[in-house]
Structures are given as C-alpha cells and as structure tokens.
Amino acid sequence: MRQLFNQLISFPYFFKIAQISFPYLFLLSISVILLGVLWGVFFSPVDVTQGEVYRIIYLHVPAASVAQSIYYTMVIASVTYLIWRIKMASVFMISMAPLGAIFTFLALFTGAVWGQSTWGTWWVWDARLTSTLILLILYLAIISLFSSFDRRASTDQAVSIVVLIGGINLPIIKLSVEWWNTLHQSASITLSGSSIDNEMLIPLLISILGFYLYVTAIGMRRMQVEILKREISHNWVKRIF
Amino acid sequence: MRTKRRNRVIFVSSLIASLSVAFTFIVLAMNENVDFYYTPSDLTGSKIINKDSLRIGGLVQEDSIKISNNSLETNFLVTDLENSIEVYYEGILPNLFKENSGVIARGFYDYSNGIFYAKEILAKHDENYIPKEVKKALVNDS
C-alpha cells in the first residue's frame, strides 16, 4: 500500500501510468457521457410539471457534482502539500483548478437556462446560487495565483493555503438549500433515496459517472503536462522523448 | 526534519480549527439575513418586518387564484399550511404557476390591509421529477 502510494507520487511512474491509461479512459468517458445524455434527452419520459426543459438536468447535475468534487479533492491535496510537501499534490491542484472552473461555469450556465424557463428568472441571489458563484470565483483566484509568483515553492504554499481556506465554501453550498429558504430546490438524490423517477434517474446516474470519468482522464493528461513543465531538464524526461 | 513536519501539522490543524470557528460564526451571522424569502407565518407573526421590498414564499393555496378577465390582474393566497397571505399581482405569470405548487413573490406587504402587492412572481420547483404517464397513473389510482 505504502509502496503503491510512493510510486503514484513519483513523477516518472505516474507519467508512465497516465500515458498508458489515458486513451482508454478518455474514450470510455466520452461513450458513457454520450450514452447518459442521449438516453436522457431522447428516450427518458417528459417531466409532468417542467416539460421538456427538465432534460437540462442531464448536464446540470453532473457538472455541478463534478465542480464541487474537484474542490473537495483539491482540499485534500492542499493539506497533503502543506504537511508532507508532496509535489504531486501541487501538480494536482494546478491541473484540476481550470477543470473545476469550467464545470462550475457549466453548472451556473445550464442552471440559468433552466431557471429562466422554470422559475421565470435567469439569476437570483439566493444562498445556493451565490455560494456556487463564489466557488467559480475561488477557482479563478486559484488559477491566477498560480501564475503570480516567481518561486515555485512559495506559489505552491500560497495556493495550498487559499485552497484550504476556500474549503469553507463547500459545506455552505451543500447545506444552503436545507438551512435557508432558497429558490433552488433541495437535493433530489440523497443517501436515503431519490425523488426522481427511476426512468429519469438511470440515465442521469450514467451521465454523472461519465462526467467523473472525463474529469479523471483530462485531469491526468493535464497533470502530465504540468509534470513535463516542471521536470523538463531531468534525465527521465529526456529518455522518453 | 521531524520538528519541521510537526510545526507544519500544527500550522495546518490550527488553520483548520480557526476555519471551523469562522465557519460557525459566518453561518450564525448569515442565519439572520440569508433567507431568500419570508414565509406567511413570518409576516403574520408579532414581529413587524418593515421593508420596502421583500419576498414571500410558499404554496399557492387551492381554489384561491382569481384572474381578471380583461386585465393582467391576479389575486391568490400564498400559504405555508399554517398561515396564508393574499397576494395582488399585475403582470405575466410564470409557466409553472399553479395551485399547490411553490411560488415566490417580491413586493411590498401592507400591514394595514394584509395584502402583499407583488412586483415579481417566480415559480419554485420542488425536488420531485415525475414522468407524465406515472403522474396520470397515480391520479387514476387515487
């Protein structure tokens, strides 16, 4: 176990694993996303109150889920970096932050389109929507912070602290719809079950799985690029190319 | 090396500890004013909420919608199943506006006659997703 962990945080070993597994993982993720989304858009039944527009759920929920999960993993990485100074942790953070930003934006955008038709407005400043916008701003702040220092070590240190502090936003996003009155509805899928009909739920779960696979694949690829940037003068890189 | 790492652990733990304290304070402070809307019980209660613009939310009470024939005037009751408030609105209603479904109105509450004059009506959707056919079957069963 410890050996496996040590291998995964070693740059050459990780690079090799990612190089081999990326094409399979990428193709798999695209097929799973297509399966989930096409099934949801063309074959699942129409919702009784919302009508056809509910189908945006097949993009909105996976995007929002991935957007938050990326930040959770980044918090873990930030603690790992702050305590053990494992460089792979900072490679992970810098590689995932843009993905997090893109999916947060996608969640906000699809939510706005759905809201315009369902609620009658694109945007309101309720707790759920506002805390998700803050998540997007956090991602953007982290991305810009990565490019604003000269010394690698101080950048990684500063970013880790910001990521950790920003983690405070995650439970707020999660619990906002339960603690306060919001326009956004509370969670449909919980540990105790789902209030979405099974015929609609199955393609949604497939789509969520596909999004997670996609983020894993692209995240690995981005980490490879970041590793090359940092290790360009090392011998193991020269031996590969 | 050992002590260095210990210092880092102390640094991270104290950061997390202070963040938790900050989190608690933020949530406690926000509890006062982060709610997107008031419930009818909030307004009919003893505490007077004196605001030029506020939102109320709840369900549209059954058989309470009165739509004028020759204008866009609408009257209906918003209820939280304990208290209800009459809402007056002139404008176009959202598609999902109907009886027994969630609604949020922004406007002004007149304490003197107990009518809420709405400037904007939003429909609130709940967490349930039900296909048309299933709903039909449910209605036929009951």
pLDDT digits (tens, 9 = 90+) for B26-42: 888 777 777 889 899 88
B49 or A69: which leads in pLDDT: A69
B1 pLDDT exceeds 70? no
Q: Does B47 touch chain A (CB under 8 A)?
A: no
Please tell me the predicted confidence (pLDDT) of residue B70: 86
Q: Model-level pTM? A: 0.89
Please tell me the predicted confidence (pLDDT) of residue A7: 82
A113 pLDDT exceeds 90? yes
A189 or A35: which leads in pLDDT: A35
Query: Is residue A80 within 8 Å of residue A226, measured between CB atoms?
Result: no
Collect all residues of chain A within an 8 Å Cβ-Cβ radius of residue B5: 83-84
B142 pLDDT exceeds 60? no
Window 194-223 of A, Cβ < 8 Å to B: 195-197, 199-201
Please tell me the predicted confidence (pLDDT) of residue B96: 86
Shortest alpha-carbon distance between residue B12 and chain A (Å): 7
Collect all residues of chain A within an 8 Å Cβ-Cβ radius of residue B36: 124-127, 180-183
* Distance of alpha carbon B13 from alpha carbon A204, whole angstroms: 38
Please tell me the predicted confidence (pLDDT) of residue A192: 84
Domain regions of chain A by residue span:
23-240
Residues near A239 by Cβ (< 8 Å), separated by ≥ 6? none
Please tell me the predicted confidence (pLDDT) of residue A179: 87
Please tell me the predicted confidence (pLDDT) of residue A75: 97
B14 pLDDT exceeds 80? yes
Shortest alpha-carbon distance between residue A198 and chain B (Å): 9
pLDDT, mean of residues A212-239: 94
pLDDT, mean of residues A125-138: 94
pLDDT, mean of residues B105-113: 91
DSSP-derived 3-state class of residue B113: coil
Question: Which pLDDT band holds residue A88 (cuts at 50, 70, 90)?
Answer: very high
Please tell me the predicted confidence (pLDDT) of residue B141: 65
Question: What does pLDDT average to over chain A?
Answer: 93
DSSP-derived 3-state class of residue B131: strand
Question: What does pLDDT average to over chain B?
Answer: 86
Question: Which pLDDT band holds residue A17 (cuts at 50, 70, 90)?
Answer: very high
Nearest-by-CA chain A residue for B129: A196
A166 pLDDT exceeds 70? yes
Q: Does A170 touch chain B (CB under 8 A)?
A: no
B43 pLDDT exceeds 90? no
Residues near A228 by Cβ (< 8 Å), separated by ≥ 6? A15, A237
Shortest alpha-carbon distance between residue B90 and chain A (Å): 15
Please tell me the predicted confidence (pLDDT) of residue A22: 96
CA of residue A182 relative to chain centroid, distance: 24
Option in A48, A49, A120 nearest B122 (CB): A120
Please tell me the predicted confidence (pLDDT) of residue A180: 87
A233 or A28: which leads in pLDDT: A28
The DSSP bridge partners found for residue B79 are: B59, B84
The token pair at B68 is 């004028």
Q: Does A95 touch chain B (CB under 8 A)?
A: no
Q: Does B57 touch chain A (CB under 8 A)?
A: yes
* Distance of alpha carbon B57 from alpha carbon B80, whole angstroms: 8
Residue with tokens 């866009």: B72
Collect all residues of chain A within an 8 Å Cβ-Cβ radius of residue B95: 51, 117-118, 120
Q: Convert chain A into a string of H (helix), E (strand) and C (coil).
A: CHHHHHHHCCHHHHHHHHHHHHHHHHHHHHHHHHHHHHHHHHHCCCECCCEHHHHHHHHHHHHHHHHHHHHHHHHHHHHHHHHHCCHHHHHHHHHHHHHHHHHHHHHHHHHHHHHHHHCCCCCCCCHHHHHHHHHHHHHHHHHHHHCCCCCHHHHHHHHHHHHHHHCCHHHHHHHHHHHCCCCCCCCCEECCEECECHHHHHHHHHHHHHHHHHHHHHHHHHHHHHHHHHHCCCHHHHHHC
